[in-house]
Chains A and B, each alone.
Chain A
Amino acid sequence: MFISNTEEEKKEMLKMIGVKSFEELVKQVPSKFLNPKFNLPDGLNEIEAYKKMKDLSEKNNALLSFVGGGVYERYTPAVVKHITQRTEFLTAYTPYQAEASQGILQTIYEYQSLMSELYGMDYSNASMYDGSTALAEAVKACVRISGKTKIIYSSIINPKYMDVVKTYFAGNKEYEFVSVPHKNGSVDLDKFNQLLDDKTACAVVSNPNYLGFIEDIEEFNKIAKSKNVLTVCMADPVSLAILKTPGEAGFDFAVGEGQSLGLPLSYGGPYLGIFTCKKQHLRQMPGRICGMTVDKDGKRGFTLTLQAREQHIRREKAPSNICSNQALCALSVTIYLTLLGKEGLKELALLNHNLAVYASKKLFEAGIKTKYDKPFFNEFAFDVENAESLRKNIACSKKIDIGITASELGEEFKNTVISAFTETKNEKEIDLYVSAIKEYSKSPAMKK
């Protein structure tokens, strides 16, 4: 289908190789295995393939969506799409040959700088797969550094993220995961203090937390540090335009889901795992790192560095097996932040926050309070009757998805809805959302 050689050229090449047929080249493969029958349809041409994909894409159904829970509907500026589609970036690979990859290497250096600045941390790597795997790798780094076995985490962190962390420790039964209960929608700091002991490798908190509320991360870190426990903060990058950074709060590691910075949702990805750390943990950082150096003539240049940590050199002693990462997503985020600048990012964060505040006020007027009286960023939780069926009913009849339910967190959150608000919505759309909730949560059908 995408072969460039003609049959004639193929024959010439076979002749040059010194064989009569292709079959002679693959004699090393036992013949009984060659040319099995494949029960597959014939290939489509480009128009047919395009139409099939178009039809399938139309089987998806876009609602007016207030779904959050870690990833958010975002607007991607046209420039971001166009530059990331430049084939010099799109079709290159990992910059092993630095001299022929200065473009991508410089963008990685800029990406690392942007993430370090945003999270207030010393260093960032070139990217991880997504927020959850970045979190897992950060927890693993803490375990390596401390040599300890207990992992203490906030009970109101995204449960899917903790699932992944646990998978990354699969089968290593000596590790113990202990969750800290919440108190009125944020980590119960007294209980947290009590749970810390000399077996604790690290303490993990999410800000904002899964329910959307803002945590006192400085106090969290202070308590952990008083017991010499390493700390990991999972933070939303957009929120960091206004919220206290993990760096300011003193965290050892800070990770995040970079999707918030203008990447499309695409039912799961590709997203971007942000991974940052304090200086003293640099050599425990997994994945690729780009550094600035000079060439033979003393001219500025960029290269992958500190590779002695990585799998292709250290093999079974490497801290992680990561090889390919999410380079193109990191590039996308770099362009996005360059376009926004510090003012644009702050404007975006405030817009998100203000829209969420607007929604909470409108809901309050309709008799629905946020679940806790706590500050939130762009997402918050509230209770309704029969949350799951309310969501489905409104989706069905009004084409509005009011947001996920928090039932994964346990019985207490069975009827909790989490709604998220971004720049993709305006007040009018929020009014529609509020009136739908108002109408349906009071309808007699819901009371059943």
Chain B
Amino acid sequence: MNDIQKFDTRLSVEKSKDGKRGVHFKRTIDDHSIDSKYLRKTEPKLPQMSEFDAVRHFTKLSKMNFSVDTHFYPLGSCTMKYNPKINEETSSMTGFASVHPLALTECAQGTLEIIYDMKTRLCELCGMDDATLWPVAGAHGEFTGVLVAKKHFEVKGELRDEIIVPDSAHGTNPATVTMAGFKTINIKSGADGRIDLNVLKQNLNSKTAVLMLTLPNTLGIFETHIEDIIKLCHDNGTLVYMDGANMNALIGLVKPGDFGVDIMHLNLHKTFSTPHGGGGPGSGAILVKKHLSDYLPVPIVVKKEGGFSVEENRPNTIGRIKAFFTNTAVLLRAYTYMIMHGPKEFKEISENAIINANYIKSKLNKYYPAYANEFCMHECVLTPSKELEEKGIKTLDIAKRLLDYGFHAPTVYFPLIVHEAIMIEPTETENKDTIDAFIETMIKIYEEGINNPETLKNAPHTMPVKRLDEVKAAREPNLRW
């Protein structure tokens, strides 16, 4: 097979032929009385293909893609676990798929019951009091959570406009802070990657509204002094927001509410197994303690005698964050996953995730020393060894070489505080054989790096394309046909 057939990069419009069609609707007359001043003047350039042409086109494209089902995908902080197939079956059941969000609530009792029950279960799992399932992504959840905090201070009549964010945080945290109209106070992490209590103390003042912290942090380390951190904040009248992107390390093991966290978000597409879809749709539920309940976004699903209903009228709400509820079918997937797990099974998730991560860390330590010299939680942050650096090997080279061996690369160059970071999250669903193969490959890549560094620097060699000219992409944007 030649390269063109194997890796066909022709666009659909380049395969298009006049007169081809994939789908037909009932014939209708092109005769309407809409005034021509309201009409489109030029035809859109859309591809014309037969149904089979289109199927072949997209199926071939799907083959030029790594995914969880086909490849180990240890993308740190993204929790690329197996996405159970039953989720797909249940979430697409006709009864769920066909309900219009503006249908009478009498017609949506099944979906509303799930939303209500899911909220209750998530609160119990996290030790929180109330929740909203409306945010559709982690970042959307962060924004919602920070607005809740903003409302809290507004109602109290306190002017606080600063939010403390550790330098190890995901970029979404500081971006959220700005979006919600606050100022980001970046604080430097301690040598062990944890929040430095003294630095925190120095930065807490009467203007500090919130501390945003990721737990475990992006180094895969738990903030051991969590009680002191939260006490310092609460004594200062500051709320604590927990970024729950890494909840896969804690699920079934602890309840964040017990630490004293006031607001947290969950990425249901991470911890609760819904597929990532090439970058979404996700779901970023927000959980809060009782004192913040009034500020949650509308609508509110309430249980009454005779069924579930939807209420809009909440005087202190932050408002509406999306026009129509949420990525509901994503919730249905996460809910299916939840009802298949009791307390015992939930704990198995975090336990196996933590064991898998530590296993990789300890086996690779000689070749890729870990940033933190202690056990990790569900992910570990490694760096290329000195020997590799001496050969001029960068983390990017290692990542690209992994692709040649059939492994998706870990998250690289994040967290920013670690030089040449390689962030590995195996998740609980991978088996030991796969993990061993990954470890062996990482060692092999190390050896290649020492003996034949060019192989790494020019990797990948077996993908549909070699390294791409990203400078050209940014300088001469070609973003459409």
Contacts and interface: CB of A to CB of B under 8 A. Distances in A.
B480 A269 contact: no
Interface in A243-291: 243-245, 248, 257, 264-271, 282, 288-291
Contacts of A30: 224, 226-227
Interface residues of B, number: 204
Given A99-B400, A341-B21, A344-B23, A167 B468 contact: no
Contact of A311 (B7, B51, B171, B351): B171
Interface stretch (B233-241, B353-361, B385-393, B447-455): B353-361
A147 interface: no
B351 A132 contact: no
A83 B110 CA distance: 28
A445 interface: no
B365 to A, nearest CB: 11
Interface stretch (B42-50, B198-206, B285-293): B42-50
Interface stretch (A110-118, A193-201, A379-387, A431-439): A110-118
Interface string A84-104: 011111111111111111111
A124 interface: yes
Contact of A117 (B44, B70, B127): B44
A241 interface: yes
A371 interface: no
Interface stretch (A51-59, A176-184, A222-230): A51-59
A13 B467 CA distance: 36
A185 B278 CA distance: 41
A295 to B, nearest CB: 4
Contacts of A339: 22-23, 49, 51, 54
Contacts of A42: 342, 344
Given A25-B354, A324-B281, A170 B181 contact: yes
A67 interface: yes
Contact of B48 (A99, A107, A214, A341): A341
B143 interface: yes
Contacts of B75: 93, 96
Given A242-B34, A318-B175, A305 B108 contact: no
B90 A53 contact: yes
Interface in A302-335: 302-303, 305-308, 310-318, 320-329, 331, 335
A266 B27 CA distance: 28
Interface string B399-422: 110010000110100100000000
A315 B478 contact: no
A348 interface: yes
Contacts of A99: 400, 403, 460, 463-468
A429 interface: no
B86 interface: yes
A49 B341 CA distance: 10
Given A38-B124, A401-B103, A88 B150 contact: no
Contacts of B151: 171
Contacts of A248: 40-42
Contacts of A236: none
Contacts of B106: 61, 395
Given A101-B65, A102-B65, A112-B480, A392 B342 contact: no
26 contacts: A53-B336, A56-B95, A57-B96, A63-B107, A70-B324, A97-B403, A112-B480, A117-B46, A129-B281, A130-B323, A167-B297, A171-B147, A214-B34, A240-B44, A241-B40, A242-B32, A243-B34, A268-B328, A269-B330, A293-B468, A312-B171, A322-B139, A324-B139, A329-B280, A338-B12, A395-B106
